[in-house]
Amino acid sequence: MVVLALGNKAKSIIGTYDLVGMVSEGEEISKEDIELMKQYGLYVYIQVEDETNGVLTMFGEKLPFKYDGDNIIIDNELCPYTYSKEELTIKKDTEELIFHKVDPSTIEDRTNIPNIQE
């Protein structure tokens, strides 16, 4: 379970965020690679719905979370975060996910994942 310390910033981060950057084990995943993932229906986004609920969606798997203004609880893990100028960065182990706030209508129809053929 992932736990994000949100503190008093809870109200200011309410919204929908799309993945725009990622670092995995010290290696940066390019914006082009992220866009390619999206073309194949592999989306990562987070929705902070209100002051107590949200959903992290990773490649079609929805991970609902609850938080009390101090912590977000998903999979019992604590993940530090930063929030600045509509950018939410979450660190977990050797990974860092960078999200940018977007209009929720831009992510509404992500349920139809295309069939990837080789």
3-state DSSP of 62-99:
EEEEEECCCEEECCCEEECEEEECCEEEEEECCEEEEE
* Separation CA 92–CA 103 (nearest Å): 26
pLDDT of res. 18: 94
Q: What is the pLDDT along the chain (118 residues), one digit of tens a residue?
A: 444 444 455 567 889 999 999 999 999 999 899 999 988 888 899 998 887 788 889 888 998 877 665 556 767 777 777 788 899 888 877 889 999 999 888 775 554 444 444 3
Residue 91 lies in a domain: yes
pLDDT of res. 72: 63
pLDDT of res. 41: 86
The CATH number covering residue 98 comes to 2.40.128
100 exposed, middle or buried (CB, 10 Å; 0-12, 13-18, 19+)? middle
Residue 77 lies in a domain: yes
Residue 116 lies in a domain: no
Give the total number of structural domains in the chain.
Answer: 1
The whole domain housing 75 covers 2-105
pLDDT of res. 85: 85
Q: What are phi and psi of 66, to 5 degrees?
A: -125, 150
Residue 49 lies in a domain: yes
